[in-house]
């Protein structure tokens, strides 16, 4: 965008006492509201997880959040309309459809916890694939208050302003259109960074003013803007297609990994242990809730004070005795390298007094046994001999977990179906031993 008049227009907007730059973007209370809106979204997520969110917009925690957003002066006036329950159309379908509600909650939770552009876009694409009726890019107004440098606000006036300024053809209601517009806004923001801000609210507020007709634009002379818009849209579509393909494969692997963790969680609880689920996996969906439901929300003191606590927190599943001692630790290796999982268990074993004598399990598909045993012949795994490590095939866990839960006592049942792992001695080692 090389029009010199654009810079003049942005300067005029910044100097306008009644414009959104001075009345909203520089408004003292704007930044203060970010924290309260973030807290409000945490409450929405908590209610969805607990299945107490309800089946109506009115009176819900989401209404409270959107009331706060809609009070953010001109730019967000009417931001709550898209989320108001429309009974005749039965949209947005997050009030009566529990599955959609959980998807929406997971979307908010992911965006609340992540801190990168890649993760935010991935969360948007995941939500888009769920095709929840009536839940479109208006949700970007929630994202803006979580990631103001990544997700610009979205409404009709902003879209009109963007189209008028760039000659693009953004249409309402489609996430791919929003993401393509976002690319253009980032480009605009980069070109005029000295007049705008890292906070994309400034660029969005400017486009809002253009879209309302407050600042008439000159006649367009360039024809390249539409082509740039088409290029942005093609880029987003290609990214989305690649993401969908990768996500399908990842979902299959991740589903299996999460499912195995869920089996181990449920079995540990049934056997009377306290259970820890990896801190980065606890929010994953499992059955009708989260993987971490019913599990410890913090490690026992001895583990929490260990020097390698950051690694211990990432062990897939740990069964813990009532006195806080580790009974067993499990690493699930569906398709990934076993190295990082073993290192985490070594950190646990060598970092806690008496932990090395406990039981450690590598849980993997049946067809990975030869690979697992071959890996343990490598010098990198020489210290594994210090672990009481066993290989637990998926099939054994699947076929026997119910019986172990019903009739088992402690970890005897799980020990019975697991197989000891011993590093394979090399030819040199064998010869030395025989000598």
Residue 423 lies inside a defined structural domain of this protein: yes
CATH number of the domain where residue 386 is located: 3.40.91
Residue 248 lies inside a defined structural domain of this protein: no
Same domain, 312 and 182: no
pTM strictly above 0.85: no
pLDDT beyond 90 at 87: no
Domain boundary among the residues 175, 201, 222 is at 222
Residue 227 lies inside a defined structural domain of this protein: no
Same domain, 41 and 179: yes
Domain boundary among the residues 222, 238, 268 is at 222
Q: How far apart are CA 219 and CA 322, in angstroms?
A: 75
Least Cα distance to 136 among 175, 98, 177, 194 occurs for 175
Per-residue pLDDT at 250:
46
Least Cα distance to 373 among 342, 346, 396 occurs for 342
Rg (Cα) of the chain, in Å, rounded? 27
- If phi over 0 gives left and psi between -120 and 50 gives alpha, with beta otherwise, what is residue 51? left
pLDDT digits (tens, 9 = 90+) for 393-423: 898 999 999 999 998 888 999 999 999 876 4
Per-residue pLDDT at 255:
52
Q: What is the mean pLDDT of the chain?
A: 83
What average pLDDT does range 291-311 have in this prediction?
89
Residue 235 lies inside a defined structural domain of this protein: no
Per-residue pLDDT at 428:
36
Counting the structural domains of the chain, the total is 2
Same domain, 210 and 278: no
Check if the beta carbon of residue 329 is closer than 8 Å to that of residue 356.
no
Per-residue pLDDT at 150:
96
Per-residue pLDDT at 356:
53
DSSP string, 346-365: HHHHHHSTTGGGSEEEEEE-
Report the range of poorest mean pLDDT among 258-262, 278-282, 368-372, 420-424: 420-424
Domain boundary among the residues 222, 241, 272 is at 222
Same domain, 314 and 409: yes
Least Cα distance to 387 among 352, 360, 417, 411 occurs for 360
For residue 296, the enclosing domain spans 254-434
Q: What own/partner pairs with CB < 8 Å and gap ≥ 24 does 33-39 have?
A: 33/68, 33/71, 33/72, 33/145, 34/145, 34/148, 36/68, 37/65, 37/68, 37/69, 37/142, 37/145, 38/112, 38/145, 38/146
Reported as a pLDDT band with limits 50, 70 and 90, residue 341 is confident
pLDDT digits (tens, 9 = 90+) for 219-246: 655 544 556 656 765 765 576 566 555 5
Q: How far apart are CA 260 and CA 361, in angstroms?
A: 13
Same domain, 198 and 289: no
pLDDT digits (tens, 9 = 90+) for 8-67: 889 999 988 888 999 999 988 788 889 889 989 999 998 998 889 988 888 889 999 998
Same domain, 92 and 202: yes
Same domain, 62 and 196: yes
What average pLDDT does range 198-210 have in this prediction?
95
Same domain, 9 and 144: yes
Q: How far apart are CA 386 and CA 51, in angstroms?
A: 45
Any idea what DSSP says for residue 217? P
pLDDT beyond 80 at 106: yes
Per-residue pLDDT at 432:
35
pLDDT beyond 70 at 114: yes
Pairing of strands 359-364, 326-332: parallel
- Please give the angle made by the CA atoms of 143, 144 and 147, to the nearest 5 degrees: 80
């Amino acid at each position: 965008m090389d029009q010199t008049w654009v810079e003049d227009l942005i300067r005029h907007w910044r100097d306008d006492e009644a414009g959104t730059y001075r009345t909203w973007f520089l408004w003292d209370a704007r930044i203060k509201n970010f924290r309260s809106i973030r807290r409000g979204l945490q409450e929405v997520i908590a209610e969805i997880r607990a299945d107490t969110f309800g089946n109506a917009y009115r009176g819900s925690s989401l209404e409270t959040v959107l009331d706060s957003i809609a009070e953010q002066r001109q730019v967000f006036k009417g931001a709550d309309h898209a989320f108001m329950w429309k009974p005749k159309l039965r949209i947005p379908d997050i009030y009566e459809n529990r599955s959609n509600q959980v998807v929406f909650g997971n979307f908010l939770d992911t965006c609340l916890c992540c801190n990168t552009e890649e993760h935010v876009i991935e969360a948007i694409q995941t939500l888009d694939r769920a095709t929840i009726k009536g839940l479109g890019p208006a949700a970007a107004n929630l994202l803006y208050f979580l990631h103001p440098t990544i997700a610009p606000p979205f409404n009709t006036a902003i879209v009109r302003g963007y189209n008028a300024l760039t000659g693009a053809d953004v249409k309402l209601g489609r996430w791919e259109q929003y993401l393509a517009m976002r690319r253009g806004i980032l480009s605009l923001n980069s070109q005029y960074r000295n007049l705008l801000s890292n906070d994309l609210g400034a660029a969005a507020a400017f486009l809002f003013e253009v879209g309302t007709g407050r600042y008439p634009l000159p006649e367009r002379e360039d024809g390249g803007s539409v082509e740039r818009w088409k290029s942005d849209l093609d880029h987003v579509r290609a990214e989305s297609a690649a993401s969908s393909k990768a996500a399908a494969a990842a979902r299959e692997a991740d589903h299996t990994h999460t499912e195995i963790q869920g089996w181990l969680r449920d079995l540990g609880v049934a056997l009377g242990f306290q259970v820890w689920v990896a801190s980065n996996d606890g929010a994953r969906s499992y059955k009708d809730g989260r993987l971490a439901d019913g599990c410890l929300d913090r490690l026992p003191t001895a583990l929490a004070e260990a020097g390698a606590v950051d690694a211990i927190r990432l062990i897939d599943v740990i069964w813990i005795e009532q006195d806080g001692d580790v009974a067993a630790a499990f690493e699930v290796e569906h398709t990934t390298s076993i190295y990082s999982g073993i290192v985490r268990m070594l950190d646990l074993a060598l970092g806690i007094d008496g932990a090395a004598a406990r039981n450690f399990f590598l849980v993997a598909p049946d067809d990975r046994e030869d690979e697992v045993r071959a890996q343990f012949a490598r010098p990198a795994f020489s210290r594994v001999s210090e672990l009481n490590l066993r290989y637990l095939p998926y099939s054994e866990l699947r076929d026997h977990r119910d019986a172990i839960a019903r009739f088992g006592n402690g970890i005897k049942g799980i020990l019975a179906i697991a197989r000891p792992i011993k590093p394979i001695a090399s030819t040199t080692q064998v010869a030395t031993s025989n000598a």
